[in-house]
Each structure stands twice: as structure tokens, then as C-alpha cells.
Structure 1
């Protein structure tokens, strides 16, 4: 009898163990299934640079109150401060989206030296200025195609943060060279002069390098539109492109058209893609306090959003994330002179809806003919304003070249009950928008670094593992006993020199190559020189090369 009960007890325990095993297996399977449902193959990040709620409100009223394409996927807010300032500039803001780390103003995708904002961790001194691998770079290393679409010049802060590393966002030539050597598969926007050897100070033939590496390089939108390959750099303006309202007759493409083309090319890769699309000039119109420019660029961006959402909704493997990098201008519907309880919608829209050009477009039309009569004629024809004051006419006459929108913007704003607090950025939160085929989206108030964390998670990319051993500095190499020096004889092409026995290895900045005699070796990452700190960062596998 005792043995019978023992046997029953053993059977009971075995049953419990089997049940626990089944339940844990089911739980694990459910978790795995849930994680698989969260994963996507493609991510489209869209950045309406400088856009605030006031911008979208005005754009919505401009089109008769009809909703914007992005409205349906609004889901939260994003905090935008940088490592050292409550008000960020575009470089650290884009860095947060690109890397998941905050850095200081002016820096692009490198660790900060100075940290002063609450909750931002201080990095070790040895890591000051160290390049941080971006989600675009990691996606490319993971076999995905990569793309950047924008209307500014391509080395400008936002696109630059995804494919370059520097402590000076204005060093366009170095940034451009890094972006070229990073071989982003699809680049569409402005800035051809930065790859043209005849216009670059260092005479580097970056267009030639791209062509040698299988890229189609063009300044013609028609040629780009007809392109059927997988690697293209289409730069449709020598510098920045025109505002959308000013585009007619230029031969330039719209942001929506470039987005459509990028998706067509990138989707050929079965492994998926990462694409960043920026509405670059919303920010510039806001700096100028130009409400016409704001409407022009918000609506152009929203058309690109529709293209992206239509693409994502037509398949089950694509997520779309939209978030401004920061607010700009302190724009309001209503200013100090507005009688808010009696102001009608037409009091805000009368002149803005009549506008056919932005302030920048009016400057092109005026040219050098800034007589009183021509100014009155052009402003009347393109804005419907027939009562310019003598002071306003003089201000238009005396506007600095390239800055007429800073004069015309306030003229339109004053007549349209539009308020502004600054010509600079502001520090409030911006709206977060997200679409995921299985509804896995961030909600509530999140940090800008969490946008990158989310994208990496759904793409299945471990950015931490990429950054653990990506870069080593000249100082690190010296401490390891290598004979290292910096050749600064050519300030536009500083080189790291490593002597090993009878061999000398030369590593030029901004490229991903090592030269040794007649041999050339390719590195995983572009080499980065930080002049202010005399630090040179090189892809860490260089050690195995020179041993």
C-alpha cells in the first residue's frame, strides 16, 4: 500500500512538472510571438523640422479645416532638450533620434563633453567626442538599405546626424565626405556643390567616388524619376532646394515625389530598409517668422506623410514614426492686438491664402529692382497687400540678401493676427505620431532618445552591441604602445599615421580606408578627426590589421 501511494505521489509530481513545463513553454511561445509581432522589416522616420502644434493648426485651417494625413496617428509628445541646454539645436536633436544618446549643441552623433541637464549621464573623459554608431549605419551593417530625403543641403544638421560624426555641424565639407563614404544607398535633396570637385575647397571628387562605387549621381529630377537601380544620389539644387510654394519653374521635385522614389528604390531589398525623411524648411520659415513659408512646408511635408502611410498600410512590415526635432519661433494664432472673442477665421487667413510665394520667393522676383513701385506691385500681386507703409517699403528695400523673408514674414503675420516670440528655437514638447502594422507604438510623453530606442527595437537592431567596440582613438592606441602621430600638414585632410616595424599605415579623416604602401584596406566605419581636442577616431578593427 505504501509503495502504491509513493507511486501515485511520483506520478502527481511528474504531472505537475510536465504541466509547469507546458505552461512555461506556452508563455515563452506567447512572448516570442508577441515580440515577432512587434518586429518590422522597414522603418520610415519623418522629421518636420521645427514644427509645432500652431504650425499644424494654421496648415489645417489653410486647407479649409480638413485633417492632415498625420493627424490620425498622433499618439504622444516628445521632450527635446539636449545634453547641456533646455533648448536644443537641430544637431543634438537629430543625434538623439539617430543614436539614442543626447549630445551637446552643435555636435553630430558624438558623445558630449559637457552635460548639465537633469537625468543626462556624464560619459567618461576617454569617450568625449567619440563617434556613436547611428541607426542608419547599424541598419546598413545589418544588410538593410538606407535612405535620406530632405529639402535642405544634404550635409545640413538633420540628415548629417544619421551618417556623419563631428563637433562642428557647420563643417559641411567634412560632413559631406563622411556621408559619401558611408555610402547611403538613396540620397535625394539638395547640395550638389558639396560633392563637386570644382566647388569643394579640398577638390575631392566625391561625385566620382560615388560613381566608381556603383551609384547613379544626378542633378536632374527627370533622370532620377526614371532610375530603376538600387543606389542613387539625386541632388537637385546646388545648395538648398526652394520652398514648395516657390518651386514652379525650377525643375525641382517635391518632398512627396522624392519620398515616393526613395520607397520604390529601397523596397527592392528583401532585408528591408531604414529611411529618414525631413521637412527641412519648416524650420527656416519659422526662424524668419514667415507664416506663408510655414504653410508651404507643413503641407508639403504632410503630402510626403501620406505617401509614407499609404506605402506602410499596403503591407504588413513597415512602421512610420513622425516627430519634430524641436519647436521654433513661438508661433501663435492670436497676438497682443487680437480681439480673440470677435476675430473671425478670415482675419487669420485673408492674406495667407492669397499668397503665391514665400518671402524667399518674393526676393527672387524682386531681384535688384527694389523701386517703391515695383515693391508695391509685387507685394500686391503675390500677397494681396495694397497698403504697405513707407517704413515697410524701406525695410524691404534694405533687407540683407537672403533675408527678405525675415522682413515680409512679420509684415504678413501682423496683418494675420499671427504672433511670434522669437526668431530662434523654443524648448517645449513636440507632437509624436506613429503607425505600426500591429499597433505597437509608443504613447504618452517620451524622451527624444526613446524614439531611437523604439526604432531599434522594432527593427531588431542592438545598437549597444554596435557601439561597444566600434571606435578606438589615437590616445587609446598610444596607451597600447603603438607608434601613433597626427599629420596636420593639410588641415582639410588630417591623417592618422601608425608606424609598425618597417610599415607605415596612413588613415585619412572622413574616409573608411587605410593606406599602407600600395595597399588599401577598407574599414567598417568612417574615420573622424576632432580638431578642438586633437582626437582621431578610427574603426577599431584597425588593430587586427596592423598586428
Structure 2
């Protein structure tokens, strides 16, 4: 394809009004002559660390440097000058603070939608999701995630829905659309025992030719010649640190990097290429819970998937890798103090999440039992006073709300208690309107400008792959 012709006649120049055109004055921004010299992206791998504030990226790199003398794969790409880098505006149509469905839809549909919606505009218009566009163009397409595969971020690349909460329906849409590999959690939306309507979606996927896999071993044994559908947990997968502290979970639940490698192996030999979204969804959930062990370790798990993608792209030389997040969350950071170094290093001893700790504590637990649970998980003792304070949330004296906190566990109180020991502070338990980090590697990365809107990425991917926006 003649890229000059594509850019002049394709979507960016035929959309018309500036209010619709996500690049605003695209002709002025894109250097057409330089783009002509670049190789097109046969494949695209889009990695999302959901809800990753810049502080999360920063702390994880510091944590790895101080623990292993080697920082994160993501920041090493910066240090080696291997990627194009930008800040991205993450707003939705309804707010400067986006949720994950609107954030993913901005990439997936190319337009900003209201929080809670998936590729359906405020006026009710549906925007064709980008993985469907690439399927129509002949590419394979898939998603892997650590939360339910029907959750907001993978769904934003794949389907249209007025509500992100319609996960039973999203499970059926995936089947109809025929994606090539979809893996994560979410048995609640596929199992006849767990779905409200008792439909057996596993049987439906099998009947359509999918290999349905429910364990790491089954995933590894699945043929790369047939579509793969993997569900490894009722809801989200376990936090990475909890998984790695449990031999049975390590044996049965694949990591994000392992799922990513399987997805690449499944699609890499397709003659027309592939597109793959990789999401670390529980970075966001940990931020909502101010759960530092969950946050850092799930970001590490994401970083391992970054390495899988980059290793493949460096050998393949036809793959665009995009690494970013949809929004900030809780904006954690290391707080100044004379013991900040040692305090932050204490997190290296954490073997379980705060979620694990707070679920171990029961209303009838004794103060000594609470102290024992915390010491086992965090590697240090706490005072009787602190243990008593945490326990007070279990007898009805105090309650905490918060997203993904269905049991009303005292995440905020516990994180504040930990902060005295680990020097980590949080501004909230919810999303923030930060401009976020993003990086690109491979063909098409030269299209990235230093500051972009989230919707820009939809059109950049189409340009990089030379797929016209005609569907």
C-alpha cells in the first residue's frame, strides 16, 4: 500500500470535522515523507498495566534495582533508547478522570465515550472496535489478562456494550466474534454453575472449535493450530505474590508472561499477522486497595510480559509493541524520611498481599493471632495497639467501602499502618486524571508524538499496520 495515499484518503482525512478527528490537524502532525520510509507493522502487541500511576512504575523499578541490582524491563527500554516515549491524556467523554471501559474504548473505538460504556457514544452510536477491524482485515486477534477476560480493558478492544457490567453478554459476544485466543479469569460468566442464566458457555466454545483450557498444564498442551479459550479462575486470577507463595497456585495458574507467550505462539505464524492485547488488570485492583505487595508484584508480572513481547518483536522485526496504562490510580509514592531506604526495602520481605492478610483475620481472632498473621506475611512484628486497631474493623465498629472491596475489609486502615513501616503513601483509593507514560517499539513507533490523546492510538495502530479505516 502507498502510505501517502492511505494517509490522504484514509480515515484521518475523511472523518471531516475536527471534533471527530482525534489527531486534530493530522496533516501538520504527521511527516508523510518520513513515514513512507518505514516498514509497516505486520503484528501489534498492546500491553496495558491497568491503573498504573507513574509512582507505581517508579517504585517497581526502584524495588527491583534494590533487590536484584537490575531494574524493570520497561525503564531499561528508556535507558537503552530503544523506544519512542510519550505522555498521554486519559480523559473520557464524561470526565477528566476515566474508568477502564472508557479508557480502553478510546483505544478500541477511536472515540471518547462515557465512563461505564464500551464503544457506545453518549448519543448511542456504536464504534467498531479495533480488534474487529483487524479481524476483518485478515489478522488473528486475541487478549490475555489477569482479571476476567470479559472485564473492561479486553472488552474495549473487542465489543460494543452500553454497560461494562454486562459480562454475561460480553462472553457471548466473544463467541460470536471468533477471536483466536482469549485467556484470563471469569468462570463466573462462562460456567453453567455460575452464570445467572445457567448457560454452558464452555460447551458453546467447544462446539465452535475452541480448545477450552482451565489450568496452566492444559494451556501448555493446547495446539497452536486451533483457537484457544482459557479461564483459570472464577473471578480474577490470584495476585502474583500470593500465587508465587503457593505451590499449588504456581502449578495450576499461568502467569501473565506465560499466557502472553502462548498467545504469541498461537498466532505468530499467521500469514497476515496478528494483534494481541496483554493486560495486568490487578495492578488497578491493588491500587484501589492501597495494597503495596499486590501492586508492586503485579507490576513485576506485567514487566515480565513486556520482556516476552519485546524479545519476540526484536527477533520478528515486524511487530509494533505499545506499552502503557489507561489511567492512574491512588498515586502511590515513597515518602521522605531518614529511614525511607530501609523502610521501603522492608517490602522485599512481603510474601502475601494485604488482601490475603485481611482475609486471614476473622472477627474471633485474638490480638496475638493477628500479630502472627501479619508477621508471617510482612516479615515484621506490629504492636498490640496496631493489631487491636485492625481487629476493631471486624466487630462492626468500623467499615470501609471501595471498589473490589466486597467484604468491607480495612484496606485503607491497614495501608496507613503499613506506611509507618514501609514509607509508602497513597493519595486515595481511586482513579486519577494523570497524564500517563507510554512507550512504543518497532515499526510504527516513529508515529508517536511526545504528547497524545488516548484516542490517537486507535488511528496510529491502523496507520502502522496500513489497515484502512473503512469498516
Q: Give 1:54 deviation, angstroms.
A: 0.8
- After superposition, the Cα gap between the structure-2 partners of 1:273 and 1:416, relative to the gap in structure 1 and judged at 3 Å, is same
Residue 423 of structure 1 pairs with residue 429 of structure 2: yes
Q: Give 1:143 deviation, angstroms.
A: 1.2
Q: Give 1:43 deviation, angstroms.
A: 0.1
How far apart in 2 are the matches of 1:410 and 1:177? 42
How far apart in 1 are the matches of 2:117 and 2:261? 31
User: Which protein is richer in helix relative to its size?
Assistant: 2
| More displaced stretch, 241-250 vs 304-313 | 241-250
How far apart in 2 are the matches of 1:283 and 1:438? 28
Q: Give 1:439 deviation, angstroms.
A: 5.4
- CA deviations 1:1-43 (Å, max 9, x no partner) are xxxxxxxxxxxxxxxxxxxxxxx9xxxxx97995373411100
Map 1:227-376; keep pairs closer than 5 Å.
Answer: 227-228=222-223, 229-247=225-243, 248=246, 249-250=248-249, 251-334=252-335, 338-339=336-337, 342-350=338-346, 352-366=347-361, 370-376=365-371
Aligned to 1:90: 100
**TM-score under structure 2 normalisation?**
0.83
Aligned to 1:56: 57
User: RMSD over aligned Cα, in angstroms?
Assistant: 2.3
Q: How many residues align?
A: 417
Give the 3-state SS of the residue equivalent to 2:65 in structure 1. Answer: coil
User: After TM superposition, what 4+ stretches of structure 1 lie above 6 angstroms from structure 2?
Assistant: 30-33
| More displaced stretch, 36-45 vs 449-458 | 36-45
CA contact (8 A) 2:386 2:417 kept: no
CA contact (8 A) 2:85 2:440 kept: yes
Map 1:65-76; keep pairs closer than 5 Å.
Answer: 65=66, 66-71=70-75, 72=77, 73=83, 75-76=85-86
- After superposition, the Cα gap between the structure-2 partners of 1:404 and 1:237, relative to the gap in structure 1 and judged at 3 Å, is farther
- After superposition, the Cα gap between the structure-2 partners of 1:410 and 1:164, relative to the gap in structure 1 and judged at 3 Å, is farther
Q: Give 1:366 deviation, angstroms.
A: 4.5
Show structure 1 runs of 5+ residues with no match: 1-23, 25-29, 113-127, 467-547
- After superposition, the Cα gap between the structure-2 partners of 1:170 and 1:163, relative to the gap in structure 1 and judged at 3 Å, is same
- After superposition, the Cα gap between the structure-2 partners of 1:364 and 1:343, relative to the gap in structure 1 and judged at 3 Å, is closer
- CA deviations 1:49-82 (Å, max 9, x no partner) are 0112211121112112533111213611110011
Residue 195 of structure 1 pairs with residue 201 of structure 2: no
How far apart in 2 are the matches of 1:275 and 1:214? 20
CA contact (8 A) 2:90 2:98 kept: yes
Give the 3-state SS of the residue equivalent to 1:275 in structure 2. Answer: strand
How far apart in 1 are the matches of 2:42 and 2:355? 40
| More displaced stretch, 198-207 vs 371-380 | 198-207
Map 1:372-521; keep pairs closer than 5 Å.
Answer: 372-396=367-391, 398=393, 401=407, 403=409, 405-437=411-443, 440-463=446-469, 465-466=470-471
CA contact (8 A) 2:192 2:201 kept: yes
Q: Give 1:391 deviation, angstroms.
A: 4.8
Aligned to 1:162: 157
Give the 3-state SS of the residue equivalent to 1:292 in structure 2. Answer: helix
Q: Give 1:406 deviation, angstroms.
A: 4.3
CA contact (8 A) 2:54 2:331 kept: no
Q: Give 1:236 deviation, angstroms.
A: 0.6
- After superposition, the Cα gap between the structure-2 partners of 1:207 and 1:55, relative to the gap in structure 1 and judged at 3 Å, is same
Q: Give 1:289 deviation, angstroms.
A: 1.1
